[in-house]
Amino acid sequence: MPFNFSKLALSLTLSALMTGCFDSTDTPAQSHANGAMPAEKVLRVAMMQPPRTGLSPLSDDAFKLSRWSTAETLVNLNAQSVAEPMLATEWEQVDPLTWQFTLRGGVTFHDGSALNAQAVVHSLQSALNAAPKPRILDGIEWQVRALNAMVVEIKTSFNDPLLPSRLSSPQLAILAGSAYQENGRVVPINAGTGPFVLTEINGTTSAKLSRFDAYWGEKAKVDTIIAEYVPNGFARAAALRTGEADVVEAVPVSQIAMMESSQLHEVAMPRTNTLYLNNQSKVFSQFALRKAAAQAINREQIIKTVYEDHADLAHGLLGPALAWAQPTREMNPRLETMELRRAHGEKITIGTFTDRAELPEVAVLLKQQLKMAGFVVELDVREYAQIENDALAGKFDAFLLSRATVLDSGDPVAYMQSDFSCNGSYNLGQFCSEEVDAALKHADLQPLGEKRQQAIIAAENQILSQYAAIPLLHERVIQGESERVKNAQRDPRERRLVDQFTEAH
């Protein structure tokens, strides 16, 4: 039976409008009844996905903590993906395998304890000991120790030019010792160093943050952040239209016509909409059928029909947000035979999720296109939190994913290792190739710059030549902001959404 996404979306949107996404008790007017003091400045944020692990920084939930500016890292990446100081003020590679990081003085955790080298070692060692490790640490072994109260030393197993950038990953946020529980859980309440204190975690419903007046940098201009999780994109758009939300993640393209253009901001993202083919499934373990699927897909139709031309055609895994990718790709073209392949009634199941409103619609088009190529296709569409485990376990023949390609370090090698190396922690395609592993290892050893870029494209060529995955398009995310918001962050790497400079009038 075809998936009736439009009917479900309408139902959820109407439900959201009737019940309200946000707690109406948390309004500036009600927090200030007598006019004697300035009204509390409250910012309401509609987040796309609920947390998966209780907002543990050792999972992808770390990016929520980063987007809310509550947890911070030793190193920050600027708009050009260049490492710059954050909780560490300077660093030095003292020999090929040894780095030393000097910490910022006068930094206080939200629980009142002081930032020092021992706290940093504790946070980094917790990440190294995690199972699974944060993906930025795939294949990484560090020895971390405190040289003195304010200097941390990291010894690597290879000469790693990317180490400062790795330390910018939100999954390597530095938290107070109180966050780390004996049972291995990490609870980030009152434990960060950012301009906002995480004060409440309400499961998969909401979170609440307050301004941290002891912040080491400029103090926040907003008093309170209320973050609600609204997985349905149509409901998020409705929350912005009705004034229930001030900042909204990922407004669906289909809602643009019903929105005020002044409230919508399009950001070119290093995010690729990709169909991962399960290389261990009965069907896609066969190279010829993987190639048949790749040849059957009409990317232009998907971009025009679903994204209304608000996306870029994928020529590889890495898109135009990485300005060097296409020129490097043109200098190192992938050779491909033009022999056409077809399926002969093979049955496949494609999984995807509703959190990104366009994906179910893309899946419907993929079903039609693959059917024309001889496949028999079923769709399995759920919320991401309910489908992730099945996807990682290889229970689908193919999985459609919107994937950030430089999320962790500003460099795509970590993403490629996570998704396409034999031991990758996010290997949805159950893919393993000695040639690809060797190419990724070579790329990771290259210095930042042209040599590294060429090695990355060479690894991309290896991956695509084996049809491990089919890149479809590169997304442009549309962020919604109400008229009362000023200086919300429009971050292509999805690390910042609200910071100390964000205002709510």
Neighbouring residues of 428: CB distance < 8 A, sequence distance ≥ 6: 276, 278, 391, 392, 394, 399, 401, 419
pLDDT in tens, 83-138: 999 999 999 999 999 999 999 999 999 999 999 999 999 999 999 999 888 888 87
Tokens linked to 26: 């948390």
Q: How far apart are CA 336 and CA 343, in angstroms?
A: 19
| pLDDT at 64 (0 to 100) | 97
Q: Across the strands, what pairs with 248?
A: 46, 480
Window from 243-247, 290-294, 443-447 with minimum mean pLDDT? 443-447
Q: Is 120 helix (H, G, I), strand (E, B) or coil?
A: helix
- Considering the domain boundaries, does residue 258 fall inside one? no
| 453 CA to centre of own chain | 22
pLDDT higher than 50, residue 265 = yes
For 85, 314, 494, the CA distances from 79, given in Å and listed in that order, are 14, 23, 12
- Considering the domain boundaries, does residue 12 fall inside one? yes
| pLDDT at 18 (0 to 100) | 37
Same domain, 279 and 396: yes
Do 84 and 103 meet the contact criterion of CB atoms below 8 Å apart? Answer: no
Same domain, 45 and 82: no
Q: Is residue 132 reached through a cis peptide bond, with omega within 30 degrees of 0 on the bond before it?
A: yes
- Considering the domain boundaries, does residue 350 fall inside one? yes
- Residue 207: which pLDDT band, with cuts at 50, 70 and 90? very high
Same domain, 354 and 487: no
Q: Across the strands, what pairs with 504?
A: 485
- Considering the domain boundaries, does residue 184 fall inside one? no
- Residue 294: which pLDDT band, with cuts at 50, 70 and 90? very high
| pLDDT at 2 (0 to 100) | 38
Q: How far apart are CA 288 and CA 294, in angstroms?
A: 10
| pLDDT at 375 (0 to 100) | 98
| pLDDT at 136 (0 to 100) | 86
Q: Is 170 helix (H, G, I), strand (E, B) or coil?
A: helix
State how beta strands 347-353 and 376-382 pair: parallel
| pLDDT at 135 (0 to 100) | 81
Rg of the chain in Å (alpha carbons): 23
Same domain, 10 and 131: no
- Considering the domain boundaries, does residue 236 fall inside one? yes
- What are the two backbone dihedrals, phi and then psi, of residue 437, each rounded to the nearest 5 degrees? -60, -40
Greatest mean pLDDT range, 1-10, 156-165, 398-407, 456-465 = 456-465
Same domain, 425 and 303: yes
Say how many C-beta atoms besides its own lie within 10 A of residue 210's C-beta.
18
| pLDDT at 333 (0 to 100) | 83
- Residue 35: which pLDDT band, with cuts at 50, 70 and 90? low
Same domain, 110 and 125: yes
Neighbouring residues of 176: CB distance < 8 A, sequence distance ≥ 6: 109, 110, 111, 113, 119, 190, 191, 192
Residue with tokens 């994928």: 314
CATH number at residue 158: 3.90.76.10
Same domain, 361 and 232: no
- Considering the domain boundaries, does residue 254 fall inside one? no
Do 216 and 339 meet the contact criterion of CB atoms below 8 Å apart? Answer: no
| 101 CA to centre of own chain | 26
CATH number at residue 239: 3.40.190.10
Do 389 and 237 meet the contact criterion of CB atoms below 8 Å apart? Answer: no
| pLDDT at 321 (0 to 100) | 86
Mean pLDDT of 445-463: 93
Tokens linked to 171: 């999954």
| pLDDT at 23 (0 to 100) | 54
Do 246 and 482 meet the contact criterion of CB atoms below 8 Å apart? Answer: yes
Burial of residue 38 (number of CB atoms within 10 Å: 0-12, 13-18, 19+):
exposed
What is the residue type of 83? Answer: A
Say how many C-beta atoms besides its own lie within 10 A of residue 488's C-beta.
24
Same domain, 323 and 459: yes
Instruction: Please state the length of the chain.
Output: 505
User: Final residue of a domain: which of 179, 211, 227?
Assistant: 179
Same domain, 463 and 489: no
Q: Across the strands, what pairs with 225?
A: 43, 209
DSSP letter assigned to residue 171: G
Mean pLDDT of 46-66: 94
DSSP letter assigned to residue 465: H
Q: Is 30 helix (H, G, I), strand (E, B) or coil?
A: helix
Give how many domains the chain has, as a whole number. 3
Same domain, 302 and 419: yes
- Considering the domain boundaries, does residue 311 fall inside one? yes
Its domain, for residue 110, covers: 71-179
Q: Is 145 helix (H, G, I), strand (E, B) or coil?
A: strand
Q: How far apart are CA 57 and CA 380, in angstroms?
A: 29
- Residue 473: which pLDDT band, with cuts at 50, 70 and 90? very high
User: Final residue of a domain: which of 153, 179, 205?
Assistant: 179
pLDDT higher than 70, residue 12 = no
Tokens linked to 8: 């479900």
pLDDT higher than 90, residue 406 = no
Residue with tokens 């160093």: 193
pLDDT in tens, 334-361: 776 667 788 999 999 999 999 888 999 9
Same domain, 11 and 121: no
| pLDDT at 183 (0 to 100) | 82
Mean pLDDT of 329-335: 84
Q: How far apart are CA 210 and CA 199, in angstroms?
A: 7
Read off the pTM: 0.75
Same domain, 453 and 344: yes
CATH number at residue 316: 3.10.105.10
- Considering the domain boundaries, does residue 466 fall inside one? yes
Average pLDDT, rounded, for the chain: 90
Closest listed residue to residue 348, CA positions, set 320, 304, 380, 326:
380
Q: Is residue 28 reached through a cis peptide bond, with omega within 30 degrees of 0 on the bond before it?
A: no
| pLDDT at 139 (0 to 100) | 78
Burial of residue 29 (number of CB atoms within 10 Å: 0-12, 13-18, 19+):
exposed
